[in-house]
Amino acid sequence: MHIGTARTALFNHLYARRHGGKFLIRVEDTDRERSTQENVDILFQGFAWLGLASDEEPVYQALRADRHRQVVGELVERGAAFRCWMTPEETDAARDQARAEGRALRSTWRNRSDGDLSQPHVIRFRTPDDEPIVIADAVQGEVTFPSKDLDDLVLLRSSGEPTYNLAVVVDDHDMRISHVIRGDDHLNNTPRQALIYDAMGWERPVFAHVPLIHGPDGKKLSKRHGATSVAEYADQGYLPEAMRNYLARLGWSHGDDELFSDAQAESWFDLEHIGRAPARLDFDKLNHVNAHWIRHADDERLAALVQRVRTDRGEAVSDADRPRLVQAIPMIKDRADTLISLADQAAFALLTRPVAIAEKPAAQLTDEARARLSRLAERLGGIEAWDAALLDAELKAFAESEGVGMGKIGPPLRAALTGGVASPDIAKTLAALGKAESLGRLSDILSPSA
């Protein structure tokens, strides 16, 4: 699922929630070659990760082909559509002539009825020759298309399969769709669809065409800009609530609000404040939003997500280590902007004893430092309430009693506890490890065999 598809779905979802409507999902699978089950599954995995569920059973367009053909038959009876036996060569020639005359294709069969029904043919829409088609777009404003620029649209292929523009109109009508919010790359399809609505005597839905998402350089979003699919963002450690927050703000605004909950977005979202210019993806802002929601996420949930990240990297967390991971999360989550960085920062808490110490931090463990750590360990052993604030006060008091600054305490203590692996400030590191693990790691370093 492309990130643009995800944002469009989110806008539809928010608009439906704001107005007490229904958010519906339709799989437009008339292109049978591209609409594999694998691709459909990927779409629904994206919806599931984003937390966007259809309020009714999803509709599969290909299963409604009989209904589409029925409507085409009605259009033929009304004179709004006709059968066309033009060969591919004749079609190309007619298109070239039309282009030379500054208009779109007009079939030579528009006013003929002598075709052989037993021979392969298509059914086309009878596009008006010179009539402005006005679209009242909720984002783009009033947009006018000259009908001479629209060809006689194929509604039914010679195989009997309905085409996209016909199918979406029939399905939107039958599904009672009131608003179609979609990317502005579909804007040119809208006059064709509007003509079909009018020919059937159906009320048009409200169209709202949202500008596409561009990369930071202002160019169309592509792989060169980094992640473009929802799955990639999930793999890179973004939370779904952060993506919802960021995507909602990408091209739509509510004053200066940058950080807001789902409930706020649902109560605020409107079409009036969707911009007409393409939105630009800003990874710094995305990381800022993600960091905010990581700070507000449940610690048990974050621990489970970190565990999954580490497992995917071949760094499984054992059941015995999991409580220590959960304990570490609140000490480190205010420093992380993705689950990947959170997993990296949790590494110190999951080291196996005895902790291997890198060469540079090992240099901090002089005989003098070891003797001081031994006295510190004895002092820490008498502490009952093992929390960061109390531990910070104890460390400062110990440094004062030793007549040294924290520069003589922190580095060797950190080396003993983490072996040089990155960790939060030393009091939080102790709190994250817990009393038993902290004193155990100190004991490993201070024992004669260490």
> Active-site residue numbers?
223
Tokens of 403: 């007549």
Per the listing, tokens 């506890």 go with 417
- Measured CA to CA, the distance from residue 376 to residue 21 in angstroms comes to 64
29 DSSP 8-state letter: -
Q: Are 348 and 418 in contact (CB under 8 A)?
A: yes
**Side-by-side strand order, sheet with 122-125:** 81-84, 122-125, 154-156
Please say whether the beta carbons of 430 and 377 come within 8 A.
no
Distance CA 188, CA 201 (A): 21
List the Cα angle 184/185/187 in 5-degree steps. 60
Tokens of 268: 């605020």
Q: Supply 168's token pair.
A: 């979406």
DSSP for 120-175, please give it.
--EEEE---SS-EEEEEETTTEEEEEEGGGS---EEE-TTSPBPHHHHHHHHHHHT
